[in-house]
Amino acid sequence: MRESPRIRRLRSDLKAMEALRAESTILEFEARGNPPAEYLVRFRGKGIARGPDQLRIVIQEVHEVNVRLGASYPRVTPELHWKTPIFHPNVSASGNVCLGGYGTHWVPSLNLDELCEMLWDMARYANYDVMSPYNREAADWARRQRQYQLPVDPRPIRDKLAGVQPRAKPAAAEEVLFLDGEEPVTAELVEPEPPDVLIIE
* C-alpha to C-alpha distance for 80 and 43, rounded to whole angstroms: 15
**pTM (predicted TM-score):** 0.81
The 10 Å Cβ neighbour count of residue 75 is 12
Q: What is the pLDDT of residues 52-103, one digit of tens each?
A: 888 899 999 999 999 999 999 999 999 999 999 999 999 999 999 998 776 6
- Helix residue ranges per DSSP H, the chain: 5-22, 101-104, 112-123, 136-144, 159-162
Residue 36 parent element (H or E)? strand 36-50
Per-residue H/E/C for 95-126? CEECCCHHHHCCCCCCCHHHHHHHHHHHHCCC
> What are the sequence ranges of the domains in the chain?
5-188
Q: What is the pLDDT of residues 131-165, one digit of tens each?
A: 989 999 999 999 999 989 999 999 999 999 887 76
Q: What is the pLDDT of residues 87-96, one digit of tens each?
A: 999 999 999 9
* C-alpha to C-alpha distance for 40 and 68, rounded to whole angstroms: 9
> Which residues touch 9 (CB under 8 Å, ≥6 apart)?
73, 74
- Span 5-188: which CATH code? 3.10.110.10
